[in-house]
């Protein structure tokens, strides 16, 4: 059995140059790692381009700034994936409430809250949000959310569809482009069938309900 070599080098007068097997394994390992990173990047890029709703002609239903500046509170009604550590696995009645709008610097200040299903305690935090524009769009269609307004780190939520005063359907890139459906306070049980239709069309049949009427105390005041 001949040992592996990299080939003949004229500088060595035709003497075979041997490559240790350990080096070969290291090279293969590095190449596979690089390939994996490349494959992940390509997969993410393909997922972005294959989103059914990612079409500039649909931008009137995807105006991120318009959706972001609607006054009042929105509740996370349901999503197409099970767990979200960002909100907390034991949290229900997740909501986002607009506090103020900075028109000059184009960002909003919001309160995000949720309620524990274990003891009913409420947790809130201040969230800053702004928008960005996807390639091909002329109006912003992506919401960025962060606990700091310096924009150092944020989570992206492209708008798949919005009726603005009724419901928003957001994509969640950090959850494999799953979806969330948010509904306006006081209209939770009046969500138009179009919102559900679009959710099923774009996001598939999986549904995990986050909204809990019994826990949402402020919402109960709007219900008979």
Looking at the chain, the whole-number percentage of residues with pLDDT higher than 90 is 58
120: left (phi over 0), alpha (psi -120 to 50) or beta: left
- Predicted TM-score of the model (pTM): 0.74
Q: What is the pLDDT of residues 20-45, one digit of tens each?
A: 434 433 433 334 333 333 333 333 44
pLDDT in tens, 172-191: 999 999 999 999 998 888 88
Q: Where does 57-220 sit in CATH, by number?
A: 2.40.128.20
Structure confidence by residue, pLDDT tens digits, 89-141? 788 999 999 999 999 999 999 999 999 888 888 999 999 999 999 999 999 99
Which two three-digit tokens encode residue 2?
A: 């001949």
Q: Which residues pair with 131 in a beta bridge?
A: 143
pLDDT at 19 over 50: no
Measured in degrees and rounded to the nearest 5, phi and psi for residue 47 equal -60, -40
pLDDT value at residue 218: 54
């Amino acid at each position: 059995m001949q040992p592996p070599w990299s080939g003949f080098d004229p500088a060595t007068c035709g003497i075979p140059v041997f490559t240790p097997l350990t080096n070969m394994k290291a090279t293969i390992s590095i190449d596979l790692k690089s390939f994996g990173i490349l494959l992940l990047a390509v997969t993410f890029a393909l997922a972005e381009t294959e989103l059914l709703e990612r079409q500039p002609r649909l931008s009137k239903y995807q105006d991120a700034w318009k959706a972001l500046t609607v006054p009042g509170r929105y509740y996370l009604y349901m999503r197409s994936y099970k767990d979200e550590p960002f909100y907390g696995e034991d949290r229900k009645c997740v909501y986002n409430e607009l506090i103020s709008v900075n028109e000059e610097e184009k960002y909003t200040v919001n309160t995000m809250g949720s309620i524990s299903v274990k003891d009913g305690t409420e947790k809130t935090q201040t969230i800053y949000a702004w928008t960005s524009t996807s390639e091909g769009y002329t109006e912003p269609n992506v919401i960025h959310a962060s606990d700091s307004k310096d924009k150092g780190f944020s989570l992206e939520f492209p708008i798949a569809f919005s009726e603005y005063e009724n419901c928003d359907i957001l994509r969640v890139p950090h959850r494999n482009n799953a979806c969330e459906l948010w509904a306006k306070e006081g209209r939770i049980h009046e969500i138009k069938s179009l919102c559900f239709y679009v959710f099923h069309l774009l996001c598939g049949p999986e549904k995990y309900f986050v909204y809990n009427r019994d826990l949402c105390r402020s919402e109960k005041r709007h219900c008979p």
